[in-house]
Structure 1
Amino acid sequence: MFSSSSQHRSAFDVLMSNASAKKKRKLEEIEDTPSRVRISDSAKPKSDRVTELKSKIGLLKKKPGDFDPSKVSCWDKGERVPFMFLSLVFDLIAVENGRIVITDILCNMLRTVIATTPQDLLPTVYLAANEIAPAHEGVKLGIGKGSSIIKAISEAFGRTKAQVKQQYTQLGDLGLVAKGSRSSQTMILMPKPLTVVKVVDTLRQIAKESGKGSKDKKKDLMKTLLVATTDCEPLYLTRLLQDNLRLGFSRQTVLAALGQAAVYNEEHSKPPPNIKNPLDEAATIVKEVFSVLPVYDIIVGALLTSGVWNLPKTCNLTPGVPVRAMLAKATTSVDLILEKFGDTVFTAEYKYDGERAQIHYMEDGTIEIFSRHAERNTGKYPDVVLALSRFKKLSVKSFILDCEVVAFNREEKKILPLQKLYDSFEEDPGYFQFATALTSNDIGELQEFLKASIDIGIGDSVDLVPIAAFHGRGKRTGFFGAFLLACYDVDKEEFQSICKIGTGFSDAELHELSSSLCSKVIDIPKQYYQVDDGLNPDVWLEPTEVWEVKAADLTISHVHRAAIGIVDPDKGISLRFPRLVRVRKDKNPEEATSSDQIAEMYQAQKHNQPSNQGKGDDD
């Protein structure tokens, strides 16, 4: 029992002071490490900034012409942009369907960043586009999609891995698991609020970790970010770690919004007098410039210093930076090609059985070879690197060659198939056969060969995305028995159903496909899925895989939505008797066959096979 004397009170005060100092030191340690200490919700400190941001974030939905950036920002000019701001923007977009509204929101967000903290525009664009570095730099997080993130979430929020895995199975979204885990745990002392710059810098640091112990270092860096999150931040941080924001917009939307934001913040020059719609023109300029120079760092810097109208002059083809590959459009008739080009003189080239290569020769003599996906393949072709310097003229200082690397027999002076299959295998009819082929430069022969290929089905396969599945019945009970496939509409940025595929699979194939897609099941369809209500699949899927599919032909459909409004105002196009060729590991869902290409293939078929057009849907 303590005495009431001043001497004893003083001693007690000293004891309490020492205890407080120890507690303070402990709290300082906790600030830099994940904490499992919980306190009651009533003691949770309120964030004025979060509350203010939430009250203002809806203003971003205004038409850009009516929007005032100063009405949204609640951070001082020059202060780093809070990651909470970007997360709340994502939350706003998550409930929107229209591409125009989403573009407006992104545009107004970028305008706010430019007006307050222009130096943070670059990292903001990177995160909005779900990227951390230019594609050709090959910077990857290297953390996979699940296990390491699950471990980071469990340690950051005081959960067991089993608890996190169980909720992941139930919710199908690790981001929602992280958000729920964070909301159920409150820390005594929160670290500093996350900024957009902090997130980008840490993600890049995660990507750089390699070698012994790198797995734990990556996990600790993820944990450091997660511990500092609050509200909806864990949801979008986790999705950024998984490389899938699940928001229904692509890089193209971000680029369009960036161009429009530049118009509203344009300080360098007025639009040229011949431009009727500056917003659309600016969006087009930024997208076109990005296709020849896909580096946000250069484009954003040029936008801020010399403006959007000067962008084509300030951002050009640059040796060392691979140009984005253009996609080819399939056709089934020479007449259609001539009709497309009109009186224009064009060049026709053979398509070789090789590998696409983009060769860059720099002024210092450095050579880089990139794949169609901007991956460095220089070490793969040492003979090409050695030979290139001999071929160029002395006057040429640098160049970019978009070409096909093929195998060549110098003795016989002819190009060989890249894989040299004919020399390596023997045909066994009905079991192993080479594709039917014709080698000729005779137009008549080629036309007949083309016609023959059309007569037995679609001349080219199509690449489609599974977006839903149907449970198997009978002997297929226990796994999926059929799948709903979709093409991709580039302009609307949506997946449109085109066929239901369920025949031609072996039990082993169905089991393998079902296993790979089970973890991709989601509760409700994406807002960017165009599917007729009558289809009623049993489960919906994340758009993660691309399947190469062939079919008998294409037909106008009352049910499917592929290319709706292009060839018919109210109906789409579907595939008849589709069959799976293979799973395309080399393609992303947004690289699937486009609705425009589906429409062109249908028109080409209609031109060549008018008798087929009376056929209806056949799934």
Structure 2
Amino acid sequence: MNYKTLADACQNLEETSSYLEKNKIIAKLLQETPGERLEMVVTLLLGRVFPAYVSQETGIGLQQLKKAVGQSTGYSKNKIEDLMEQLGDLGKVAEKLTKEKKQMTLADKTLKAKKVFQNLRKLPKITGEGSVDRKIKKISELLTAATPKEAKFIVRTVLGDLRIGVSEGRLRDAIAEAFDLSSEKVEHAYMLTTDYGKVAKAIAEKGEEGLKELDLTVGHPVNPMLAQRLETIDEILKRMNGRAAFEIKIDGIRIQPHKRENDIYLFTRRMEDYTHMFPDLEKSVRNSIKPRKAIVDGELVAINKETGKPMPFQEVLRRRRKYNIENLAEEIPVEIHLFDVLLSGNKTMIKEPYMERRKELEEIIKLGDRIKIVESKILEKTSEIQNFKSEAVHKGHEGLLAKNLKAAYRAGRREFSWLKLKAEVETLDLAVIGAFAGRGDRAGTYGSYLLAARDSETETLKTVTRVGSGFTDEELEHLTEKFGKLRVEEKPSNLDSEIEPDYWFKPQEVFEINYEEIQKSPNETHTSGYGLRFPRFVKIREDLDISSVDTVEDVAKLFEEQEKHQTSDN
């Protein structure tokens, strides 16, 4: 398959804003792609060369890419910088300079999609002395062989932003259209695999029967099910038809332990493999999970050695360091508190109701010093629920989670069959998309940050607030260093912002924010239509990625609830 075929489709996608038309373009491409190439093509359409659950970084940033463009076209750094100022997109710069390039290749070879895919997948493996120069050379080789249009999309793929408006949700619908299946069946297959490339290939090769062969795989993380929020016990009971399971909500890192014989894996909510960071847990997990293979779901929490109570969320994050792991393991002991099971032996459990999954979990887990099962009570009286919530808070936990007794495990979905009942004031998890330079005492740091919620229909990020309070001096310095590595020279294509910060960031990190009030905001101020009064930084959510941030719809619901309570109070 020629890379030109993919580049042409990407160009067509870039030029249309119609959801239905984009689906048709993707569906046509998938129909024309050989089955053995579908995994590659679907991954490339998302601007990646690895599936979302594979944590691999190319190690190539904007400056290194500029060098690769210069090497392949023969143009100077100054020329590239000047064009960046004009075009605001290195992909377009590569396209323009490739049209005008001084260096001519000896032979005009057709660039294959497989060659692009394989070369870019090799980048993380290039290490050691001179590795950056070797990576630049590898990209330059591709650009030298590329047409102008191909060069644009190769550069954008390395940057992880194709600017064509293709999200995983759109891929689901396009795959369904291409192979004449329901979106629900395609989505269910994705829940099992977390990989639309595998799903498309299975359908292309065996149709709907191919989907039936897909299942959960130990060592391959599953997108976790998420909870919605409601403010009161009465609202929760109404949503749950008067009766629900209430579990203690623990403030830790969402963790998904996998077991296959003696092999143990620990995956986070971001589908990152943290196994090597917690070697002290491997033996405990292996001994506590009875079946030969299983996938369970839980929370990883740090424990205060003196009091036995859970420690703040940030203490768990300290355990993620690459060095001094043994000393940290002694200083900050951790436990896993399990609350669900997805796979037990050869039984896939995600379609089973909560009660069946809970029963299975209790049967397959041998409790130990490091492995617990989250306490759960089936309750229907407001007074009993309030007492249980108070008990949970007294033990140092966040509050409760209410779970529908009949609900299946909906991987990767945030639904009203799981509901949060937290003890503290309401917070929002928002994507960090930009920053403003610090002034006065904050000079030399990012003094405040621009935050956004996710629009679930368009998959764009829309601004909600600017936050500059709640940070310690140490946090400001740490965050300035962290976000300095995420700076980009132009507004990313998936952002909808009328506010122009001093610096744009690649949307990757999440802040938890509390606030006094949600207010209506003109679109020319915040594109979500909402703003926050007196927002305050709580913490960086290093366990979340931007696919997990609160949506514009979440903010709208909280605003409606707020207005309802204010009206009743008056």
Q: Give the TM-score normalised by structure 1.
A: 0.66
3-state SS, counterpart of residue 461 of structure 1: strand
Whole-angstrom distance in 2 between the partners of 1:298 and 1:85: 20
CA contact (8 A) 1:132 1:203 kept: yes
Q: Which residue of 1 aligns with 2:490?
A: 522
Change in Cα spacing, 1:521 to 1:477, as seen in structure 2 (3 Å) is farther
| Deviation, structure 1 residue 216 | 2.8
Per-residue Cα deviation, 1:29-82 (whole angstroms, up to 9, x for no partner) = xxxxxxxxxxxxxxxxxxxxxxxxxxxxxxxxxxxxxxxxxxxxxxxxxxx2x2
Match status 1:154 vs 2:65:
no
Whole-angstrom distance in 2 between the partners of 1:517 and 1:375: 20
Whole-angstrom distance in 1 between the partners of 2:513 and 2:157: 31
| Deviation, structure 1 residue 220 | 1.7
| Deviation, structure 1 residue 602 | 2.5
Matching residue within 555, 568, 578 for 2:535: 578
Q: Which residue of 1 aligns with 2:375?
A: none
Structure with the bigger percentage of strand: 2
Q: Which residue of 1 aligns with 2:200?
A: 300
Change in Cα spacing, 1:530 to 1:389, as seen in structure 2 (3 Å) is closer
Change in Cα spacing, 1:589 to 1:353, as seen in structure 2 (3 Å) is closer
Q: Which residue of 2 aligns with 1:329?
A: 228
| Deviation, structure 1 residue 167 | 3.3
**Map of 1:552-571 to 2, 5 A cutoff?**
552-559=516-523
Whole-angstrom distance in 2 between the partners of 1:514 and 1:293: 32
Q: Which residue of 2 aligns with 1:192?
A: 109
| Deviation, structure 1 residue 140 | 3.0
Q: Which residue of 2 aligns with 1:95?
A: 15
Whole-angstrom distance in 1 between the partners of 2:450 and 2:276: 40
Whole-angstrom distance in 2 between the partners of 1:475 and 1:406: 36
Match status 1:258 vs 2:206:
no
Whole-angstrom distance in 2 between the partners of 1:493 and 1:215: 33
CA contact (8 A) 2:427 2:513 kept: no
Whole-angstrom distance in 2 between the partners of 1:584 and 1:447: 25
Q: Which residue of 1 aligns with 2:146?
A: 229
Change in Cα spacing, 1:529 to 1:377, as seen in structure 2 (3 Å) is closer
Q: Which residue of 1 aligns with 2:402?
A: none
Q: Which residue of 2 aligns with 1:16?
A: none
CA contact (8 A) 1:485 1:499 kept: yes
CA contact (8 A) 1:154 1:160 kept: yes
Q: Which residue of 2 aligns with 1:388?
A: 285
Matching residue within 488, 496, 521 for 2:462: 496
Q: Which residue of 1 aligns with 2:248?
A: 350
Residue identity opposite 1:303 in structure 2:
I
Whole-angstrom distance in 1 between the partners of 2:117 and 2:538: 39
| Deviation, structure 1 residue 359 | 0.9
Whole-angstrom distance in 2 between the partners of 1:372 and 1:447: 27
Change in Cα spacing, 1:99 to 1:494, as seen in structure 2 (3 Å) is farther
Q: Which residue of 2 aligns with 1:286?
A: 186
Whole-angstrom distance in 2 between the partners of 1:561 and 1:611: 29
Q: Which residue of 2 aligns with 1:399?
A: 294
3-state SS, counterpart of residue 522 of structure 1: coil
Q: Which residue of 1 aligns with 2:259?
A: 361
Whole-angstrom distance in 2 between the partners of 1:455 and 1:391: 29
| Deviation, structure 1 residue 400 | 0.7
Whole-angstrom distance in 2 between the partners of 1:368 and 1:538: 40
Residue identity opposite 2:99 in structure 1:
S
Bigger shift: 320-329 or 492-501? 492-501
Q: Which residue of 1 aligns with 2:32?
A: 112
CA contact (8 A) 1:466 1:546 kept: no
Change in Cα spacing, 1:484 to 1:515, as seen in structure 2 (3 Å) is closer
Change in Cα spacing, 1:476 to 1:517, as seen in structure 2 (3 Å) is farther
Whole-angstrom distance in 2 between the partners of 1:583 and 1:405: 17
Aligned residues: 477
3-state SS, counterpart of residue 273 of structure 2: coil
Query: Could you say which structure has the larger radius of gyration?
Result: 1
Per-residue Cα deviation, 1:164-195 (whole angstroms, up to 9, x for no partner) = 34433453322122122211115153442212
Change in Cα spacing, 1:474 to 1:140, as seen in structure 2 (3 Å) is closer
3-state SS, counterpart of residue 357 of structure 1: strand
3-state SS, counterpart of residue 173 of structure 2: helix
Higher RCO (C-alpha under 8 Å, 6+ residues apart): 2
CA contact (8 A) 1:463 1:547 kept: yes
Q: Which residue of 2 aligns with 1:443?
A: 386
| Deviation, structure 1 residue 477 | 11
| Deviation, structure 1 residue 596 | 2.6
| Deviation, structure 1 residue 522 | 3.2
Residue identity opposite 1:293 in structure 2:
T
Whole-angstrom distance in 1 between the partners of 2:308 and 2:482: 48
Structure 2 stretches lacking a partner, 5+ long: 319-330, 332-382, 400-420
Per-residue Cα deviation, 1:437-477 (whole angstroms, up to 9, x for no partner) = xxx997158479999xx99995123314436x889999999
| Deviation, structure 1 residue 609 | 3.8
Change in Cα spacing, 1:555 to 1:455, as seen in structure 2 (3 Å) is farther
CA contact (8 A) 2:253 2:543 kept: no
Per-residue Cα deviation, 1:352-373 (whole angstroms, up to 9, x for no partner) = 23332211111x4321111222
CA contact (8 A) 1:132 1:204 kept: yes
Whole-angstrom distance in 2 between the partners of 1:176 and 1:157: 13
Per-residue Cα deviation, 1:551-607 (whole angstroms, up to 9, x for no partner) = 21113444479897xxxxxxx433223344455555444432112322332244345
Residue identity opposite 1:148 in structure 2:
Q
Residue identity opposite 2:225 in structure 1:
M
Change in Cα spacing, 1:542 to 1:391, as seen in structure 2 (3 Å) is closer
Bigger shift: 132-141 or 177-186? 132-141
Q: Which residue of 2 aligns with 1:462?
A: 429
Change in Cα spacing, 1:553 to 1:310, as seen in structure 2 (3 Å) is farther
Matching residue within 102, 116, 124 for 2:41: 124
Change in Cα spacing, 1:342 to 1:168, as seen in structure 2 (3 Å) is same
3-state SS, counterpart of residue 598 of structure 1: helix
Change in Cα spacing, 1:494 to 1:407, as seen in structure 2 (3 Å) is closer
Residue identity opposite 1:461 in structure 2:
L
Q: Which residue of 1 aligns with 2:94?
A: 178
CA contact (8 A) 1:291 1:323 kept: yes
Residue identity opposite 1:152 in structure 2:
A
CA contact (8 A) 1:498 1:560 kept: no
Whole-angstrom distance in 2 between the partners of 1:366 and 1:480: 43
Change in Cα spacing, 1:472 to 1:350, as seen in structure 2 (3 Å) is closer
| Deviation, structure 1 residue 229 | 0.9
Whole-angstrom distance in 2 between the partners of 1:216 and 1:126: 26
Whole-angstrom distance in 1 between the partners of 2:441 and 2:128: 47
Residue identity opposite 1:490 in structure 2:
S
| Deviation, structure 1 residue 237 | 0.4
Say what the alpha-carbon RMSD is for the aligned residues: 4.3
3-state SS, counterpart of residue 133 of structure 1: coil
Whole-angstrom distance in 2 between the partners of 1:478 and 1:405: 36
| Deviation, structure 1 residue 302 | 1.6
